Amino acid sequence: MAVLNPINNLNHQFMRKILMFFAVILATASAALAQTRPVQGTVTNAEDGSGVPGVMIQVKGTTLGVMTDSDGKYTLNVPAGSTTLIFSFVGMKRVEVDIAGRSTVDVVMESDTQVMDEIVVTALGIRTEKKALGYSTSEVKSDELTATRTNSFATALSGKVAGLSISTTSSQAGSGTRIVLRGGSSITGSNQPLFVVNGVPFDADNSGSSSGLADIDPNAIESLSVLKGAAASALYGSRAANGVILITLKSGTADQKPVVNFKHTSSFDKIYEIPLQKTWAQGNYSVAAQDWVYIDGDTQFTSTSWGPRISELPGVEYYDRWQVFRTGYTMDNTISVTGGTDMAQYFVSYSNTNNDGVVGPLGFKRNSINANTTFKFTPRLTVSSNAMYSNQDIDRMEEGNAN
């Protein structure tokens, strides 16, 4: 008669349970693997065909996702019921791709111009994303320059660019303007930045009573870039050691019908006068005044705190200092024509500015013409022409230095 060993029986039961446990795990893993499938591919840039790293790929309707590697490649396990992948990246258009029955999905992404960083002009024909620059820069648009009605765009820059100091050589109409970026760097030399108009250095000598900057019509300016970093001098040499102010004039646009614009602005200037009592003369209430209140031995003042009417006093007729001033008036008229085709673009403008100063008969008049044309003869040959004419007539007082 055989006798069963209870210990061996327990061991057999334990091993049987272990095997069943592993069998369940393997079956579950196999079922999970059967519910997903791998999808791989490459994300490239539409501009140059290079791989785009850091693109987020997400299974639509889930939280599953991966990012592309440094070469723009990716691999993602997609649930069996999912049919769409979403590709997203900052500065590029979002892409949704149908992946039904596909194991390899390559995607080409395009730049999104609506969310791109600000573009600034660094030299003639060179436009660079602001984040790609290695130096500080600020940009002012045309509408900001013309919002304040001034004779010179330089004075309109006041308060619009950090670190920009603007001062005038005189309070007269058409006076010179001095611009300094980030403070003076020389005691004897010039501290003014270099002015560049459409890629050409511009003589903005403000050493005299007038300013060369007044030759430029603010209405003809498209944008203005201020390069304040020392590295900006690499573009224009030692002359740009104090910074660069790049002025881009307006130009025509391709595939645009002729458009005529007319703009008129008027403004008035008036000296603020603090009201003063100018009807009655001072009386002789003060003891200190008793030595000079006599004219030809006669007392001209009563013993009160005020005297007779000033207009009734004998003596030399005088003119009040406020009679020198008048209400200033500034009028600006601008007419422009712009248009173009694929082969030629043009922008032509005429501006007339008339400024009567607050001190008569001082004033400032300017007539300016700007013409910007571009002709594309072949895909590799494009000719651009920029012409600017300005005529100024300034009536001012004589100035000098006293020691």
Segment (H or E) for 156? helix 153-156
Span of 18-22, 184-188, 235-239 with lowest mean pLDDT: 184-188
pLDDT per position as a tens digit, 201-252: 887 665 555 567 777 888 888 888 887 766 566 677 777 778 888 888 888 8
Categorize the per-residue pLDDT at 351 as very low, low, confident or very high, splitting at 50, 70 and 90.
very high
How far apart are alpha carbons 238 and 206 in whole angstroms?
20
How far apart are alpha carbons 18 and 315 in whole angstroms?
128
Categorize the per-residue pLDDT at 87 as very low, low, confident or very high, splitting at 50, 70 and 90.
very high
Collapse the DSSP code of 240 into the 3-class scheme (helix H, G, I; strand E, B; otherwise coil) and give the result.
helix
What's the predicted TM-score (pTM) here? 0.56
135 CB-near residues (< 8 Å, 6+ apart):
227, 228, 229, 230, 231, 232
| Selection from 4-18, 76-90, 292-306 with the highest mean pLDDT | 76-90
User: Is the pLDDT assigned to residue 182 strictly greater than 80?
Assistant: no
Report the relative pairing of strands 194-197 and 119-123 from DSSP bridges.
unpaired
In the structure encoding, which two tokens stand for residue 167, read together? 């001062």
For residue 29, the number of C-alpha atoms closer than 13 Å in the C-beta half-sphere is 6
Backbone angles phi, psi at 314, to 5 degrees: -75, 155
52 CB-near residues (< 8 Å, 6+ apart):
43, 44, 45, 68, 72, 89, 92, 109
Q: How many Å separate Cα 397 from the centre of its chain?
A: 37
User: Is the pLDDT assigned to residue 18 strictly greater than 70?
Assistant: no
User: Is the pLDDT assigned to residue 108 strictly greater than 90?
Assistant: yes
Domains of the chain listed by start with CATH number? 54-100 (no CATH), 119-249 (2.170.130.10), 280-319 (no CATH)
Backbone angles phi, psi at 401, to 5 degrees: -120, 140
pLDDT cut 70: percent of the chain above it: 66
Per-residue model confidence (pLDDT) at position 129: 53
* CB count in 10 Å sphere of residue 77: 13
Residue 355 burial (10 A CB sphere; 0-12, 13-18, 19+): buried
Categorize the per-residue pLDDT at 371 as very low, low, confident or very high, splitting at 50, 70 and 90.
very high
Within the chain, what is the greatest distance between any pair of CA atoms?
166
Greater model confidence, 401 or 160: 160
Q: How many Å separate Cα 161 from the centre of its chain?
A: 9
In the structure encoding, which two tokens stand for residue 30, read together? 């196999």
Greater model confidence, 14 or 355: 355
Choose among 145, 161, 277: nearest CA to 219. Answer: 145
Cα–Cα distances (Å) from 301 to 182, 278, 280, 287, in that order, read 59, 16, 10, 13
* CB count in 10 Å sphere of residue 76: 21
pLDDT per position as a tens digit, 46-75: 888 889 998 999 998 888 889 899 889 999
